Structure formats: C-alpha cells, structure tokens
Amino acid sequence: MIFGMIELSRLADLCRRLRTSPGRLDKLALLADYLRALPADAVATAVAFLTGRAFPQSDPRVLGVRWLPSVDDAAAGAGPPLSLADVAAAFADIAEASGAGSRRTRAELLRALAKRASADERETIQRIMVGELRTGVSDGLVLEAVARAFGAPLESTRRAALRLGDLSAVAALAARGGVAALTSASVRPGVPLLPMLAQIGEDFDEVLEAHGGTSALEYKYDGARIQLHRDGERVSIWTRRLSDVTRSLPDVVETARRELVAAPFILDGEVLALDGAGRPLPFQELMRRFRRVHEVERLVREMPLTLYFFDCLMADGRSLLDEPYARRWEALTAITGGRYLAERALVTAAEAAREFRARALAAGHEGVVAKDLRSSYEPGGRGKRWFKLKVAETVDCVIIAVDRGSGRRSQWLSNYHLAVRDADTYADVGKTFKGLTDRQFVEMTERLWALAVSDDGYTVRVRPEVVVEVAYNEIQKSPTYRSGMALRFARITRIRDDKAPGQATTLEELRLLYERQFATKGRSV
C-alpha cells in the first residue's frame, strides 16, 4: 500500500474511536495498531495530524488559516475519497500561497478540500487546523504508540525524540529503520531541541555535594532563553517553547554570521534587553522584541539586545550532547572567541557560591544556576545536574479558568485559577487577581476569551495555554484543590510567554517545595 491510497476516513474513524475510549491503554492500542498498518512514507504525516499539527514539529510552515468553509452535506464527498496525502498536499499549497491573490487561492483550496470531505472528515480536518483534536491523546502517548507499533524500546524512542525534537521524524525513523535507526538518531542543525532544565535548589552545601565538590555557577539572567542554530549562512533562533523567532531577531542573526565560528553549531543561551545603565529591562519589555514581525529594524534600534551563551550542543557539525559540561564550555569558548559568555565561576565552597549569587542579584539578575562539570546535556531533562538558586520563591503555573471581575474590574476576566502539571493533566493550586496592571488585565481578558471552552456565567474555563510565574509566601495543605495544596498570597510576577504549558511546574516539584519549607519551620501534627 502506498501513501496516496491511505484514506482520510480511516484517520477520522480512529479519532472518533479515541474520543469514545476512556482508557489510556485502549487508546494506546488503537494508535499502535493504526500506525503499524501504515506504509512507512505515510507515518510522519499521520503522526503530525494525530498530534493536532498541520505539519511536523520541525517544519516551519504555518497554514495561516483556521476554518474550513461550510458546504452543503448533500453536495459533500464529491470526487474520489480523500487520502492523507491529499490533505497534506492541500495544507502545503495553502501554506505556500503568497503575494497578490493568495487569499483567494487559499480560499479555493479550502473549498475544494471541504467539498471532497465527508462530515466526519471535515470535522477531523477542522480540528487539525485549529490544533486541537480533543481525542485525549498527548504527545507522550503517541510516542509510546510509535515504540509499540514498530517494536522499539520506549527509552530508545524517547531518547530519539529528545534529540530530533520532532515526533513525526521519530516515527518515520522507527517505521523505516527500527531500533537501530532510533539509536543512531542525532541532533540536527535547524531542528530545535527541548532545553535542559534546572531543578530548584536552596542550599549551596547540598549542591556542592551533589556535584562532587566543585560546581560551575552562572548568572541566572532575567531574560528569554534562546537556542541558536547555524549551518552555513542559514541561521535559526528558537525560544524555549520551540517557537521560531528568527525574523524578530535580525541583530542576533547578524552576530551569528559575523562573529561566531565552527558551524554547523547549536548554542544555548539567553537574551536580555538592558537600559542605559546596563540594568535588565522588565521581561515584558523584552517580549515585545520576540513578538514583533513588522518594523523590526526600528525596534532593533530602540531596544538592542545583549547575548549571553552558556552551553554548546553542537560544534563543527558534531553533537556534544553526551560530552561533559566542562568540554561543552570549552567548545562554546572557541565558537564565541570568549565573547557573549554568561558570567561564570567555579566554586568549591558554599561561602564563595553565596558571594557569587549576591553579585548576580546586585546586578539585577534572578540568582544563579549551578552545573555539574561532569553533566551531559539532556534535552527536556531536569535533575540534580543543574540547580537554580534564587531568593524569591516562585513557581510556573498554567491558567485553567478565570472568574469575571467585580467593581471596577467588572469588564475584565481577572481572578485566575492556577494549576501545576500532573502527568497529562493539571491540578489547581489556588486563585489570584494580584500582580497585573490594568493594561495587562485588558490584554489578558482578550487572550483568555479566545481560549474559552465553557462559561457558566461566572467562571470561564479556558484551554491551558497561558503560563504565568507566581510568587507566594507559603505552600499550605488544602482540601479545596485537587492538588491537595494551595499557594498562600499568590501573586503573578510575570507572564511567561516563553514557556509552553508542558514546561510549567509539576505537582511533584510543588510537593518537594512544600516539604522543604519545614527545614526552617515547625510542622503541626
């Protein structure tokens, strides 16, 4: 069987069955059976569609449209049955339409697609276009299904996914080459990887013990994480949530081309916007640069950026993910010529570490990150190889609902329901209306209405897409919330547009923070 013969109706039927199958194992079996029956050249497209994407994760194309035109059901299904290849080709033509008449071209392509599709197929196409199949299937479950379908160990499949940054690419490798292909999968320039993350730490003595007596401390900058790729003259820049911001940062692109060597390379770093005195500007100001796609040059002049690199994932076309941090820092120094490096110190004593953190805080930064010199780079990983040590305690929460305001806030959605990640769902930890300016309340109201999924007249449930950094005074036990805990005096300190919901604080991390409070407090029986 060839790609062009795989009917869309089979995918639509699968999605319907997934929606009516409540059990995780049932969904896993359905997915694996479907993928196993596909020809190898259809697997990548199928996985993209099953995860609610018009294109694979590493494909920079965007549809630019969200809705299929309505058609008369009596006239639907005209022509030969739609295949996965037909839909993929139509999506490609829509994404590539540009210039005069492109709007009309896209409309005609969508109309033709809608006319050939049955009602079930139209629903499936529409859900793919808006990025939400609502089948109860997460990326993680699709990854497990790929492993099961093609007889690969889950660990090998997960490792390949972390290096390729693209579930479709992983599935295609597994379908064509099995375990051997997955095992040899390596990082590729132009394809972003999930960033390695730091665990929350508090005590430098514990950090030094975990790192074998010596730790590399770096300033934890209050900026935006970026991943910089260069392959020849091609430069790509990605945020920590793997959004392509290359067009918005032409000054960083120019730096990569003119001042950095040893391409192909991939660097991990941070960008900051500074004031005239060299102090970091507020994070929200920096986000203006990341969102801008028009009049970019003017904003480059108004808000120049400062670069700080702190890791090297590839140099001279060779992956360094499995090399120790000390070796990766050497490669980073060679690529940059010693410029644009994060402020850094090697420490062997807690007092020296505290002094270094004090300097970071005095310079207006958040604190420090402590790294084990022996640590490899694990995309998406978090553990004791990297610690972040800040003074103010914060967690990253996802907004899952919001209440209508009262009084002068009556026109706004202003009391936010906060949640942390708990496996494939979210567990609420409290509410807050504190921390935002009036302007931010207005902007957030518009943003959350666009994400609304239900409204009982008082509380609006929203898709969990907005991440906020939340400061708190204490974590308390609470029977009110599903998490079993509540953030006391919660207040939003910033909107984390650079973070995806999957990068929010986990319930396990919150429980750890709760237990750590009792190092300095008494515990009631």
How many C-beta neighbours within 10 Å does residue 524 have?
5
Given the residues 27, 115, 220, 384, the one annotated as active site:
220
Identity of the amino acid at 340 = Y
Catalytic residue status for 220: yes
In whole angstroms, give the CA distance from residue 315 to residue 332: 8
In whole angstroms, give the CA distance from residue 94 to residue 390: 47
In whole angstroms, give the CA distance from residue 315 to residue 306: 22
382-390/197-200 β-pairing:
parallel
CB 146 within 8 A of CB 30: no
CB 264 within 8 A of CB 234: no
Tokens of 321: 């993910």
Closest C-alpha among 518, 428, 402, 516 to residue 480 = 428
Give the position of tokens 């709007």.
103
Residues with Cβ within 8 Å of 190's Cβ and at least 6 positions away in sequence, in order, are 58, 229, 231, 234, 236
Closest C-alpha among 247, 261, 224, 228 to residue 498 = 224
As a three-state string, the secondary structure of 284-352 is HHHHHHHHCCCCHHHHHHHCCEEEEEEEEEEECCEECCCCCHHHHHHHHHHHHCCCCECCEEEECCHHH
Give the position of tokens 């026109």.
411
Which DSSP string corresponds to 138-207? Answer: -HHHHHHHHHHHTT--HHHHHHHHHHH--HHHHHHHHHHHHHHHHHT----TTS--PPPEEEE---HHHH
Q: Is 133 exposed, middle or buried (0-12, 13-18, 19+ CB in 10 A)?
A: buried
According to DSSP H, which parts of 184-270 are helical? Answer: 204-210, 250-259
Give the position of tokens 């969990």.
464
For 88, how many CA atoms within 13 A lie in the half-sphere containing its CB?
22
Q: How many helices (H) and strands (E) does the chain have?
A: 17, 19
Q: Is 472 exposed, middle or buried (0-12, 13-18, 19+ CB in 10 A)?
A: buried
Which DSSP string corresponds to 486-501? Answer: EEET-EEEEE-TTS-G
Rg (CA), the chain: 24
Identity of the amino acid at 38 = L
CB 118 within 8 A of CB 15: no
Helix (H, G, I), strand (E, B) or coil at 232: coil
**Catalytic machinery residues:** 220
